[in-house]
Amino acid sequence: MKKLTVLIEARPFCVFDQAPMAKLKKAGLDLMDMRGSGMENPEFIAALKQADALLCGNDLRVGDALLAMAPQLKAIAKMGAGLDTVDIKAASRHGAIVFHTPGVNNQAVADHTFALILCLARKIIYCDRSLRARRWEHTHIMGLEIWQKTLGLIGLGAIGRCVALRAQGFQMKVVAHDPCWPGEFAEEQGIARLEIDQLLPVADIVSIHAPLTPENKGLIDAQALRRMKPTALLINAARGGIVKESDLYQALKNKVIAGAGIDVFQQEPPFDSPLLELDNVVLTPHTAAFTHEAMHNMNIGVVDQLIEYSQGKKPAYTVNPEVFDAQHAAG
> Is beta strand 53-56 parallel, antiparallel or unpaired with respect to 5-8?
parallel
| Backbone dihedral region for residue 260 (phi beyond 0: left; psi -120 to 50: alpha; all else: beta) | beta
Residue 239 is a catalytic residue? yes
Interacting residues of 5 by C-beta distance below 8 A, sequence separation 6+: 29, 30, 31, 32, 50, 51, 52, 53, 72
Using DSSP's 3-state secondary structure scheme, residue 283 falls into strand
296 is catalytic: no
Q: For residues 87 and 215, what is the distance between their CA atoms, to the nearest angstrom?
A: 16
Q: How many CB atoms lie within 10 A of CB 222?
A: 13
Residue 286 known to be catalytic = yes
Question: In DSSP terms, which residues pair with 282 in a beta bridge?
Answer: 261
Distances (CA, A) of 38 to 19, 57, 242, 253, 325: 24, 11, 25, 36, 30
- Annotated catalytic residue within 268, 277, 293, 322: 268
Distance CA(54)–CA(302), nearest Å, equals 11
The answer to whether the beta carbons of residues 60 and 35 sit under 8 Å apart is no
Give the active site residue among 100, 112, 209, 239. 239
The catalytic position among 11, 166, 286, 296 is 286
Return the H-helix or E-strand segment holding 48.
helix 42-48
Q: Residue 318: helix, strand or coil by DSSP?
A: strand
Query: CA separation (Å) from 126 to 132, 134, 273, 276, 278?
Result: 10, 13, 20, 14, 12
| Cα distances (angstroms) measured from residue 216 to each of 27, 36, 87, 183, 211 | 41, 29, 17, 22, 8
Point out the residues that are catalytic. 239, 268, 286
